[in-house]
């Protein structure tokens, strides 16, 4: 039994849900998502909540039950509130800023600046030169953009220099001994 799939997805006000032809469409103030429903699960809307149930007791149906519920929940949260991740830059002279609303310019210890084009549907802001805030409606895209930005200069364990998530703990190593 899926512990995630048992919980219904509450639909906040301002979010429209349409279930038809093996597909669910969710529309809100931040965008619209369409998700093809697998044949192994049944999705219904009752009393302002979306309920996901498996059609049969197969292993595949059990696995898709929780996955489908989690994806629908992420879409509902995405179109109503959105997702935000914060990256922090550590290092002497390391900084970032947004140019022309579509390019993130980072100075992270290379001989040239790193230019990162901002994809559609994603908003990047730099309140401080050492903080990057990535915001969007799609949880997967926000996480992928953060992973790409972090991949340019991951944090190193000796001095802690690099780009890291704000919640990430860097395991520091001891340097060379004399």
- pLDDT over threshold 80, residue 1: no
* pTM of the shown model: 0.87
Task: Provide the pLDDT for residue 4.
Answer: 82
Residue 119 tokens read as 């994809």
The pLDDT tens digits for 93-122 are: 999 999 987 999 999 999 999 999 999 989
Q: Which are the contacts of 90, defined by CB distance < 8 A and separation ≥ 6?
A: 130, 155, 160, 161, 162, 163, 164
| Band of residue 175 on the pLDDT scale cut at 50, 70, 90 | confident
Task: Provide φ and ψ at 63, rounded to 5°.
Answer: -70, -45
CB crowding 37-51: b at 16 or more within 10 Å, else e = bbebbebeeeeeebb
Write the DSSP assignment of 38-49 as a string of letters. PTTEEEEEETTE
Instruction: List the strands of the sheet with 122-125, edge to edge.
Output: 122-125, 131-136, 83-90, 162-165
- pLDDT over threshold 70, residue 33: yes
Which domains are seen in the chain, by residue range? 9-80 (3.90.930.12), 83-165 (3.90.930.12)
């Amino acid at each position: 039994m899926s512990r995630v799939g048992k919980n219904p997805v509450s639909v906040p006000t301002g979010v429209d849900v349409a279930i038809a032809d093996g597909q669910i469409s969710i529309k809100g103030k931040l965008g619209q998502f369409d998700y093809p429903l697998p044949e192994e699960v049944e999705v219904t809307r009752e009393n302002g909540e979306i309920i996901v149930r498996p059609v049969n007791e197969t292993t595949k149906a059990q696995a898709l039950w929780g996955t489908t519920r989690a994806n629908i929940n992420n879409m509902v949260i995405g179109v109503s509130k959105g997702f935000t991740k914060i990256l922090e830059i550590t290092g002497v002279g390391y900084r970032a800023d947004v140019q022309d609303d579509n390019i993130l310019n980072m100075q992270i210890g290379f001989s040239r600046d790193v230019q990162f084009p901002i994809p559609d549907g994603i908003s990047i802001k730099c309140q401080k030169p050492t903080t990057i805030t990535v915001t969007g409606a799609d949880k997967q895209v926000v996480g992928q953009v953060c992973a790409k930005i972090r991949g340019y200069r991951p944090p190193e364990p000796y001095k802690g220099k690099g780009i890291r998530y704000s919640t990430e703990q860097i395991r520091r190593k001891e340097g060379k001994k004399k």
